Amino acid sequence: MSVPPTPIPIAPQGAALVLLGGGARTAYQAGVLAGVAEVLRDEGWPAQRNPFPVVCGTSAGAINAAYFASRCADWQQALEEMQALWCSLQAHEVFEVGALQLLRGGARWLALMTLGWLIKQHPRSLLDNTPLAHTLKRLVQFETVGEAIQAGKLRAVSVAASSYTSGRHITFFQAHPDVQPWRRPGLWGISQPLGVEHLLASSALPFVFPATPLHGEVGPEYFGDGAMRQLAPLAPAIHLGAERALAIGVAEPHPEAGAMRQHLPPYPSVAEIAAHGMSSVFLDTLRADVQQANRINRMLADLPERVRASVPYRPLPTLTFMPSASIDAIAARHWHSMPRGARLLLQSVGIGTGRGAALASYLLFTPDYLTALVELGRADAAAQRESIAAFFKPDPHCA
């Protein structure tokens, strides 16, 4: 059955916070948001008014999104606590780090990868993220999301995930009743109360963490990391009614071309191949989507007002933050802080050493590394202080 296009909301409301993710790299967002909060306080932004009535999260960015949405009634405190939580987060709060558990998991993974065809089993994941479920239950107050929506403090919060079962990229959202579900080729928006399982699914790094079952449009399905097949990270903000978007990604800065190579480098390790695959999962679609939004903004600005009112588009001003320094390089400097059992298991496939530091950057949940990312985020926000202040000036004066 064909589904008519979802109409664009006539009266968009407020700014969207769009948070992309990538495992431990997502600590960078907490630093940026702490810097944004500092600017808003200095600009006299009302303490009782949430600056982000629409919050959209993908991958580990979904965890930050849900945490903020559940505490948005006191947005300043929420952003301060988010920064503190990332700076103190430990690996054992995200995945099992016991030597016996890690070795058992690693051995089972290798055995099933090589003999799975014989014993007819499949490895679920390299690491066990059961501790993350307990951490999320402790930190995210899901019952307050509905209360914030009902009280008018929040319009919508969304979490993106990718279905291994159907191949669809689905945005699960909890929102004001006037927000309608949407369908596009391979891209669906489904309304349902959010919970821990949505965050586990959205942040389930492929191969590293297990897929999570969720109830989709046609029944239960297995879901993995929301960064997979996410071609338009700004789209949920538009569907949920935002009038502009502040987006934070965690991709590497564009590398320099470098000197010409005379000899073939060493054959890539398992970790290097896995890191390349991971970077493909977390392909920097944010830059491309922002460029597309800017093209549409310019096109609309050039149209006569009468024509502009008749086209099914509206402008979406965006402010984007991306790391100004290499997170891979920061991870390489802090790799020694990984708990010994996890470090030995991961080093056995080349993670954390040489070019394997790229994959380590997603898994290094240690306070010194995470604090370095938070500090980088704060510095990048300080560098855009004037842009942040200008971004919020056009906001409506509604409470």
Q: Check 158, 163, 225, 380 and give the catalytic one.
A: 225
Q: At what angle do helices 143-150 and 60-70 cross, to 10 degrees?
A: 60
Residue 108: both structure tokens together: 């089972």
Q: Is 42 a catalytic residue?
A: no
Helices then strands (H, E): number in the chain? Answer: 16, 10
Q: From residue 238, how far is each of 80, 148, 287 by CA, in Å?
A: 27, 20, 17
- Coil, helix or strand at residue 23: coil
Q: From residue 351, how far is each of 72, 138, 159, 359, 361 by CA, in Å?
A: 37, 30, 29, 6, 9
Residue 124: both structure tokens together: 């679920």
Q: Check 59, 70, 203, 279 and give the catalytic one.
A: 59
Residue 61: both structure tokens together: 């960015």
Q: Is 289 a catalytic residue?
A: no
Residue 350: both structure tokens together: 């080349």
State which amino acid sits at residue 153.
Answer: K
**CA–CA separation, 276 vs 272, rounded Å?**
6
Return the ∠ at Cα 56 (arms to 244 and 196), rounded to 5°.
165
**CA–CA separation, 314 vs 301, rounded Å?**
10
State which amino acid sits at residue 14.
Answer: G
Catalytic sites, residue numbers: 59, 225
